[in-house]
Structure 1
Amino acid sequence: MTHRTDTHPDLARPDAGAALFSTWRVGTPLRQREAVEAIARTWERRPWPAGGLLGYHVYTGHDASTLLHYSQWRSPRDYDGFVKAHRQERVDEIDTAVPGVERLGLGRFRRYRGLARPDETRVPGCVVIVDIEFERPDPDRQRAWVDAVVDALESEPRPHPGGISAHFHLSTDGTRVLNYAGWESAQAHLDALAAPGDGIGSATDQWRRVQTWPGLKGTTVSRYDHAIGFVPDRG
């Protein structure tokens, strides 16, 4: 059966072989709420759709217009099986309840590495998605850039206390890196952005290297609240 949860996902779970991110544009705060409610009804009334689906979570964008969807799978093949057998009926029911949802695309990723203090117990009050795009596919460059970011974070002389965690994902097409970052609050993230310098981080050689990386095409930053999650009922 399907179990509804308010608990944030464990992004570092070792059995997750695929991470999928997608964004819907729904237009208004009211339609955000209506879409989350429609998703909840659609999922709760049905059995858990696939043994390879580990968890599915929905987030409301601070732009008051979008929803972020994040799901963990044992493998990409498990997701493809879900699409063939179960996805369309769920999409149709949600679209009937909230017509006009604009689906902006699906990104296929795999988590590469992350950062969090071993004694960290805070629950993120805000999830920040940093989406980095490169000029052309290059898996080696993806990994090298993330390694450079981790080096910059670990050597940061003045880390912002509001940062909780960072989980770096590599797109399977070799063109993007997505950082799912947990922050204490949206204001903590805004304060970190407003500090002297170019974005998060001090004016160190490590951060300059990250920011001037060859082939870096563009970066988008979006803030979200965790709205709802679904996991298989283990009972």
Structure 2
Amino acid sequence: MSRRTDTHPDLARPEVGAPFFSTWRVGTPLRQKQTVEAIGVTWERRAWPSDGLLGYYVYTGQDGSTLLHHSQWRSEQAYEAFVRTHRQERVDEIDTAVPDIERVGLGRYRHYRSLRRPDDTRVPGCVVIVAIEFEGPDPARQRAWVDAVLEALAAEPNPHPGGISAHFHLGVDGTRVLNYAEWESAQAHADALAAPGDGVGSANEAWDRVQNWPGLKGSTVSRYEYALGLVPE
């Protein structure tokens, strides 16, 4: 069966061969809450669908409108089998409970590198998703850009104490990078962004190189709060 968990996912879990991220637009804070509950009820009343699914997690957007979904699969093949046999009945039940959900595609990624201290046991109060898009597929460019970001973070003279971890994922299409960053709170992340030199994006050569990388098309930053975790019993 499926059971709920309050434990945040391990984004660097080695068994995860296919980490996926997607966004739903539901419109209002009330509908965010209703949709999260509908997902929980729908999954709890059914058997866990596949040994290939290690965990499924849902987050409410600070914008009051969106939900972030993160699923950890052993392989893309396991996900495709789930789609063929189990997905639609779950979608139908959730849509009956909360009509007119807009599903904004599914991003397929592979974990590349993480930055975290093994002795840091803080529970994140905020998950920040930084989504990067490049002009055209180039896997080598994806990796080089992430390497440059980690070098810039390592060179920060006074890193903001509210940052907990950063987990970089490469889009399988070769054009995207997603950073799943854990912070103590949304305010800590906002403070870090508002104070260059105190944790994120200091005015130095390393960050200038990151922000002006050849082929960089655009980026978005979104803040979320952990709402629901589902794992097999």
Normalising by structure 1, we get a TM-score of 0.97
User: What is the CA-CA distance between 1:158 and the residue it aligns to?
Assistant: 1.5
Identity among equivalent positions (%) equals 75
The answer for the alignment partner of 2:80 in structure 1 is 80
Q: What are the superposed Cα offsets for residues 110-133 of structure 1, whole Å, 9 maximum, x if unpaired?
A: 110100012211110000000000
Task: Check conservation: 1:158, 1:202, Cα contact below 8 A.
Answer: no
Distance of 2:232 and 2:196 partners within structure 1: 45
2:188 aligned with 1:188, yes or no? yes
Would the aligned equivalents of 2:153 and 2:200 in 1 still touch at CA under 8 Å? Answer: no
Query: Aligned partners of 1:71, 1:220: CA distance in 2, in Å?
Result: 21
Residue identity matched to 2:208: R
Matched, 1:214 2:214: yes
Distance in 2 separating the partners of 1:179 and 1:196: 19
| 2:88 counterpart SS class | helix
* C-alpha separation in 1, matches of 2:58 and 2:144: 30
Pairing 1:49-88 to 2, within 5 Å after superposition: 49-88=49-88
Is the partner of 1:14 in helix, strand or coil? coil
Q: How many residues align?
A: 233
CA contact (8 A) 1:116 1:166 kept: yes
- Residue by residue over 1:140-194, the C-alpha shift from the partner in whole angstroms, topping out at 9 and shown as x without a partner, is 0000000000111111111111000000000000010000000000000000110
Indicate the larger mover: 118-127 or 178-187. 118-127
Matched with 2:172 is 172
Match runs of 1:94-113 below 5 Å: 94-113=94-113
Amino acid corresponding to residue 72 of structure 1 in structure 2: Q
Instruction: Measure how far apart 1:43 and its partner are.
Output: 0.2
Provide the C-alpha distance between the structure 1 equivalents of 2:172 and 2:54, rounded to a whole number of angstroms.
19
Q: Tell me if structure 2 keeps the 8 A contact 1:112–1:170.
A: yes
Q: How many angstroms apart in 2 are the aligned matches of 1:138 and 1:158? A: 33
* Alpha-carbon RMSD: 1.2
CA distance in 1: counterparts of 2:4 and 2:123, whole angstroms? 18
The answer to whether the 8 A contact 1:16-1:75 is kept is yes
**Which ranges of 4 or more aligned residues in structure 1 deviate by more than 4 Å?**
none
Question: 1:47 aligned to 2:42?
Answer: no
Structure 1 gaps, min length 5: none
1:7 aligns with 2:10: no
CA distance in 1, matches of 2:144, 2:90: 39
8 Å Cα contact 2:159-2:200 kept in structure 1: no
Q: Give 3-state SS (helix, strand or coil) of 1:49's partner.
A: coil
Which residue number in structure 1 is paired with residue 152 of structure 2? 152
The TM-score with structure 2 as length reference comes to 0.98
1:203 Cα offset (Å): 1.4
The 3-state SS of whatever aligns with 2:161 is coil
Q: CA deviation at 1:6?
A: 1.1
The answer to whether the 8 A contact 1:159-1:201 is kept is no
